[in-house]
Amino acid sequence: MEAIGCEDGTLAYYQLIFNTVHGLFKERYAFRENMTDIIIQHLITEQKVRIKCRDLIKKIAIYKHRLAVQLPERIIIYELFSNDSNDMHYRAKEKFMQKIDCSLLVVCSEHLVICQDKKLLSMSFNGSIDKEWNFSSFIRYIKVTGGPPGNEGLILGLKNGQVWEVHLDNLHPLMKVKINNPVRCLDLSSCREKLAVVDDSGLCQVFNNMNRSLIYQEPSVNSVAFNSLYEDMLAFSGNNSLAIKVSEIIPFKQKLPGFVVGLSGSKAFCLNGQTMTTIQLPLSAPMYQYIDKKMYREAYHIACLGVTDGDWKELAHIALENLELEVARCAFIKLHDFPYLEIIEELKTKQRRGETIREALIGDVYAHQGKLKEAARMYKKAGQEHKALAMYTDLRMFDQAQEYLGSNDNTSLIRQKADWAKNINEHKAAAEMYLSIGDTQSAIDIYAESGWTEQLIELARKLDKAERSQLISIAQHLKNLKHYTTAAEVYTRLGDIPSVLSIHVAAKEWSEAFKLVETQPNYKAFVYVPYAHWLAENDEFVKAQKAFYKAGKPDEAFKVLHRLTENAVSESRFNDAGYYYWILARQCLDLAQISSENQKSYLRKFHQNERLAELYYAYHSLHRYLEEPFTSFLPEALFNIARFLMSETVKSKPNGVSQFYILYCLSKQARKLGANKLAKQLLDKIQNFKIPRRFQEQVEVATVSVRGRPFNDPEELLPMCYRCSTYNPLSAMSNSCTNCGQKFVYSFVTFEILPLVEFVLEDGITDMEAVRLIETPPTTRRDVDKLTIKDRFQTLQFEDDDKGDDEDPFSSRIVNYERKNGGFIPIVLGRKELLSMDSSSVLVSKWNSPLRYKFFRNLLPDLQITMCYSCFKAFHIDDYELQILQKGYCPFCRAVPEHMIPIESENFLT
């Protein structure tokens, strides 16, 4: 508004009003701002974008991805950057310089449509005119109805009341309807089935677009818009109100100033002055209108446009109660109500099975909804009283269930009462009810679950012997409850001896089981096999062997020890693995004594298992040294152990024994003790192995450092043969002398070579005779020629002999040794040499037959050496006594000192 004063003294008051320049297509609204700018607003996402034209904007048209802007001297066509429905970035596509006077401007995919009063022009984007249509009256309203690109359709409203349809590819327009007054506004439904026209008098008329018949009309309307997502929904405004009409149902109105220009789902687009607003419409009213008319599918379609969760729930339950299962299913899917979805699937399954009685199905729905009385009434109406009975009994409403109880269903009802009492932990009442209907087994199960042994015992005494299955169940439950004595009484009453024995075994009542087996020898296996397993589990392996053999299962004895041995190796318990192999070796030796047919096979297995026992026993110390942070062994002892293992594992390596560990430990101790030559040889050999990652750096450093040391080995580390006094090289891969072939004897703690030399007996001398000859005190007579010792008498013969010989016969045999063809020749002694020996310097391994005794001479009597009388391993006496004090038994065979008895009086199989 402006006020102007003139020179002639007159005053003028002017008011400038500018028309609204805007365009709308679905959710995109474009309007002019500040005369030269365009604001494009996305009505759903509320995004806005500004395009500055820097000139007066006269007309705006928008369609899908196109935007047309008419300026005084030119027209600009914009397009979206992408096909994304939410994209708001526009760019200029076409621009043609042409001044055009028009009343209405419309843009399509490939054309610009210009209205000049009664004429309609179609122009391409380069400014050329494609088609022209002329009408008899002024064109007042144009709306693009869509179509293929380049062939879109338009609907026109004329001042004379005519409505025409024009297609850009057709020169001939089609008149749709004719109304009495000029057209103010019109719209076409999404599926093109309905046409709404508003005239200047405010009358809104809705026509069938196919046959042009009038469907209904509404007064006092200034604007109309069909829902773009639902065919039968129409929004119209007038008298400051907005009305929503669905189909021919009474419209729902609410206060709203302005004009409705669009409707999408539950969102209405209203123009009030120059402001476009998006209003969220409550669609509950039309939905409930459809529900009242039992049009559930139409109500569902309305709900899909946008209603509250409460409305969805109401629709779902009403549809379900009326057996509109598909509508109910879709509604419950929207609510994520999975229990009701399962109910719907059950109802569909029943319908497929032919259960189509409507009242029964509705009764199921009521039952799940908690409407119990209505459900029972529907079941009764359908003639299915048993469903009402099941419903009430499931809910523990036994008083109501009594109304639907038949004459023969009392037992069933009592059973269900008992089940309910059991579920609510009223176990005593439940058991009594089970007993009252004769279900003894269920009562027994309740007593057992509750741990009521007294009730079980009382019931067992009441039951007759003929009720065997119930008595067996009671006995089994008593056994599980560790009432072994009473369970045994029940089994004894039934005469089930194996079950009685199984109870004694389960209770570890071995003495009672053995007493019963004495009277029933056929059942030995029932007792001795589990007894043997129990002994093995408690590390009583010797007794376990006896039990297995008494049970007649010698193979099982081997299996147990083999399994224990394999487990010990896999768990890196190498000390236990050595002990188990020693047990196996002793067992093979005893079997060789009994079985003459397989004697050679058992002896071979004895030597194999004894060798494995020695290897695992030695490897235990070496493995602990590398795996644990501290060790009690001196470097010399670790050196001897590693060298012993290296020599013994040349031809075959036991499972679980790492050759890398052996060589690495030996090389490490060799470097500590100055054996650089051996260390270098071992480290070169280690390079061919796959070295563990945690040792790689240590091996590399050791390999480099040993190259800078003298290439020799100290003489004190070289293993000396006490028979031929030969020093053997440290790298020798044998535990025998390289010169004379005599096998070394090790102390089985530090694995130091002992000054023991083995000798054998001449033919005809028994082991017992040799022991007696050695233990005979030395005679002082020099003319002794021959002394014969028999089992019952001794004979001494005298001969004159002037030859004086003070030389030790054993020493002479050591000095004068021979090797034939490179083979080892043992020292052989006769009766005279045995008689001349000092018994304190002789150690005897008194093996059981079929093995012979082994005799060893201590060449350094001042060095005290002892031998275990169980495994016959030699030890330095100080080392052995220290191990006995620490562990209480022999470190190799675990024999307790006070139980060390000569091996010939022991037998593992007796």
Write the single-letter amino acid at 607.
Answer: H
DSSP codes, 68-118:
EEE-SS-EEEEEESSS-TT---EEEEEEE------SEEEE-SSEEEEEETT
Average confidence (pLDDT) over 103-118: 91
- Look at residue 402 and tell me whether its pLDDT is greater than 60: no
- Determine the pLDDT at residue 160: 93
| Pairwise CA distance, residues 683 & 787, whole Å | 58
| Pairwise CA distance, residues 150 & 127, whole Å | 15
Q: What is the pLDDT of residues 506-554, one digit of tens each?
A: 767 676 777 766 666 666 666 777 777 777 677 666 566 667 766 666 6
| Pairwise CA distance, residues 672 & 140, whole Å | 111
- Look at residue 775 and tell me whether its pLDDT is greater than 50: yes
Least confident of 324-333, 488-497, 569-578, 860-869: 488-497
- Look at residue 440 and tell me whether its pLDDT is greater than 50: yes
Question: What is the SS3 assignment for 631?
Answer: coil
pLDDT, greater one: 492 or 706: 706
pLDDT, greater one: 474 or 228: 228
| Pairwise CA distance, residues 167 & 387, whole Å | 65
Residue 805 phi/psi, 5° resolution? -135, 105
Contact 70, 102 (CB under 8 A): yes
Q: What is the pLDDT of residues 119-170, one digit of tens each?
A: 999 999 888 889 999 999 999 999 998 889 989 999 999 999 999 999 999 9
Average confidence (pLDDT) over 225-230: 90
| Pairwise CA distance, residues 543 & 549, whole Å | 10
- Determine the pLDDT at residue 13: 83
- Look at residue 801 and tell me whether its pLDDT is greater than 60: no
Structure tokens at 590: 């005893």
Q: Is 332 exposed, middle or buried (0-12, 13-18, 19+ CB in 10 A)?
A: buried
Q: What is the pLDDT of residues 58-82, one digit of tens each?
A: 999 999 889 999 999 899 999 998 8
Question: What is the SS3 assignment for 158?
Answer: strand
- Look at residue 624 and tell me whether its pLDDT is greater than 50: yes
Question: What is the SS3 assignment for 209?
Answer: coil
Average confidence (pLDDT) over 541-568: 71
Least confident of 209-223, 445-459, 583-597: 445-459
- Determine the pLDDT at residue 60: 92
- Look at residue 397 and tell me whether its pLDDT is greater than 90: no
Average pLDDT, the chain: 81
| Pairwise CA distance, residues 685 & 503, whole Å | 61
pLDDT, greater one: 448 or 839: 839
- Look at residue 789 and tell me whether its pLDDT is greater than 90: no
Pairing of strands 827-829, 756-761: parallel
Contact 199, 180 (CB under 8 A): yes
The gap between the terminal CA atoms of the chain, to the nearest Å, is 130
3-class SS string, 11-69: EEEECCCCCCCEEEECCEEEEEECCCEEEEEECCCCCEEEEECCCCCCEEEEECCEEEE
Nearest to 109 by CA among 147, 157, 155, 137: 147
**Strand locations in 355-512 (E):** none
DSSP codes, 674-687:
T-HHHHHHHHHHHT
Contacts of 295 (CB under 8 A, 6+ apart): none
Question: What is the SS3 assignment for 611?
Answer: helix
Q: What is the pLDDT of residues 18-74, one digit of tens each?
A: 778 888 888 888 989 888 999 998 888 888 899 998 889 999 999 988 999 999 989
